[in-house]
Amino acid sequence: MTAIQPPDRAATPDQSALRYPLSTLKRARRAVACSPFLLPLFATMRQEGVSLRAIAGSSGVQQRYTRRPLAELAAEDALLWLIDVGVLRREVDGQGLTDSFRLTPLGRILVDQWVERNWIPAPTLGDRLANLLSRWFRPPAWLQ
The CATH architecture assigned to 21-124 reads: Orthogonal Bundle (1.10)
Q: What is the 3-state secondary structure (H, E, C) of 99-143?
A: EEEEECHHHHHHHHHHHHHCCCCCCCHHHHHHHHHHHHCCCCHHH
Could you tell me how far CA 73 lies from the centroid of its own chain?
17
pLDDT digits (tens, 9 = 90+) for 3-37: 433 334 344 455 555 789 999 999 999 999 999 99
Give per-residue pLDDT as tens, 86-122.
999 999 888 877 899 999 999 999 999 999 999 999 9
